Amino acid sequence: MTNRTYIYSFRTKSGQKILVRPLEPDDTPLLVDVFDHMSPESRYRRFHQTLDHVSPSRIWQEAENITQADPDRSRGLLALAELTGERTVPVGAVRFVETTPCEADVAISIRDDFQNQGIGTQLMSLMADEAQFLGYHRLVAGIQNDNPAIWQVFNKLPYKVTRLPVGSYSDIVIMLNHN
């Protein structure tokens, strides 16, 4: 892997150093690694379906679709932890995909052993700032109502977040313009 440019770094609640950089076309194995470190429950909460028996080739293809997405319509960030005595390891990713010229769908994944450390909040905030800078007015997502961790992430954003309940899910809208 070539030397990467990190755009941001921070420390988790436990003091772990996290580096953040843009998602790049050759990051497929890193996304697969994040997925491999997510429990069945975390996968269900993220993808809204059971993913217990998905073939490795399908997982690879989906991750490759993310890393190879059109950069004019999609952006992503990758978070990596510097582990003592080891290389950096991927711990989470966030991305958005344009749905209209003013709106994009946003999604985030954090591996289980790094959840509840503030990584999701930092990544989502950085992604929202990037989307705003690029001219988007809203980020949208479908979230399960019984997922308190993701609700904490959205409640900590410096943007107005509207929740529209639809059965066991809610559609959320993050308003990126401060008007």
CATH code at 116? 3.40.630.30
Q: Would residue 48 count as lying in a domain?
A: yes
How many domains does one find in the chain?
1
Q: Would residue 1 count as lying in a domain?
A: no
Q: Would residue 107 count as lying in a domain?
A: yes
- Domain hosting 108: range is 8-175
Residues 139 and 161: their CA atoms lie apart, in Å, by 9
Q: Estimate the share of the chain in helix, then strand, then coil, as percent rounded to the nearest 5.
A: 30, 35, 35
Segment 86-112, tens digit of pLDDT: 678 889 999 999 999 999 999 888 888
Q: Would residue 24 count as lying in a domain?
A: yes
Say whether 95 sits in a helix, a strand or coil. Answer: strand
Query: pTM of the predicted model, to two decimals?
Result: 0.85
Q: Would residue 27 count as lying in a domain?
A: yes
- Please tell me which residue, 35 or 166, carries the higher pLDDT value: 166
Provide the angle, in degrees to the nearest 10, between the axes of the packed helices 56-67 and 28-36: 130
Q: Would residue 167 count as lying in a domain?
A: yes
